[in-house]
Structure 1
Amino acid sequence: READEIDERQAIIIAGIGRFGQVVNRLLMLAGFRAVVLDNNLEAIETMRRFGIKGFFGDPTRPELLHAAGLDEARVLVVALDDKKAAIQLVRYARSQRPDIHIVARAHDRVQVFELYRAGADDIVRELFDSSLRAGRYVLENLGLTDIEASKIEHFFFRKDREGLRELATLWDPEIPVSRNKAYVDRARELNAELETALVAHLDEGLVSIPVPKAPEVPKRDGVAPDPTFEDKSDDQKEAG
């Protein structure tokens, strides 16, 4: 099937309407913005239309389709393609045509972050990074930190990791596997150590207080409290006994 004729222009273009692109588009719509949505998956486009959301079928990496979607006037391009090579190709082309456009791109992993960065993307979102941070925050809360304390650590880690990633991008060499790139590996290890030191410094300054894990409570049975003779004793009590 031939690509759809694109009959509208918006300040935002979203290339790829899978799970990632859908969430971005829904957030924009909630805030009152509309985007020109492109995807070469006809089923995904037709599913969108059933829910009353407009989208256009076609390959976002095709220059003529991009320009028809308003590349020359758009303010932001969101690259949310599953195909890694296609995503890099799209970013590189868009940057060559529009040095001033803001490009937000999805990355599958850290290596693709570096590739997209060199291709010209401004903001690069690692696919599982944010969700992993959120999961880590839930663990901290379950261990006894308040939601504010856990959130501060989460944001601290996010900021430091992002700073480190930008530095590592300058050491990344596409011709050398990361594990064999000595300069990259050495600096990555230094950054990990610096992160731990910086976090400890913040903890010492009172950013958060890590609670001491408590021993699990012995559950009651049939409404009867546990026998106190089986409760843990302190070290002093054990020595005295």
Structure 2
Amino acid sequence: MRVPGAKLCTAALLLCATLSAAAPAKKKGSGNINIIDVIIKLGSFRDLRTVMENAVTGVVSPKACSICAAATGMLFDYLDSGRSSNGLVKLIQGACAFLKIANPDACASVIDMYKLKAEGSAEAAGSPVKVLHISDTHYDPEYEEGSNGACADPICCRAHNGAPASAAARAGKWGHRGKCDIPLRTLESALQHAAEKNQASGSDLSSPHGPCAQSSTRGG
């Protein structure tokens, strides 16, 4: 499913702004973003609300980038202070649900997908190899052309979302900008293009690919 990136960054920002007060002071010139920098970047809560609303339809503005950059800096400050990554995940999940960015189940599952699983490095082995990295395909087997692409659910463009209220909200043949993933035909076309245009020795597939189980609002 699509939980708008700017909204998640906003949740992290508001959470870390509070936590940063308890973090050890950073040396001047360390490059870390402090709370004063964040307030200046946000400008006003009206700007913040606009960024969050636009993020739903996939609009990325300079203001959204500033919010994400500030949030990222504070997340690193939090981890650098010695706190655990698992604790950070739980705090962001709580902030996501509290701010009603998505329902609690969606907040928990989506944020958990990005939790650090392992870390380390590998030694270079011989000559460079060209690898095609395919990520975030967001294929939805329930995508239906002509369905509502502007629904109130976490993910739209499905038959149970009802009819669109306008032509602009109608799910297209290849996809729809907003809270929708893509149909199979779009994924197949993209993979066919990649196979024809990229001379890679191998490929690497990383998630997410399909919508989360919690994204469906139907009973059962």
TM over 0.5: no
Structure having the higher helix fraction is 1
Higher strand content, 1 or 2:
1
Which one has a bigger Cα radius of gyration?
Answer: 1
Provide the TM-score with structure 1 as the length reference.
0.23
TM-score (norm 2): 0.25
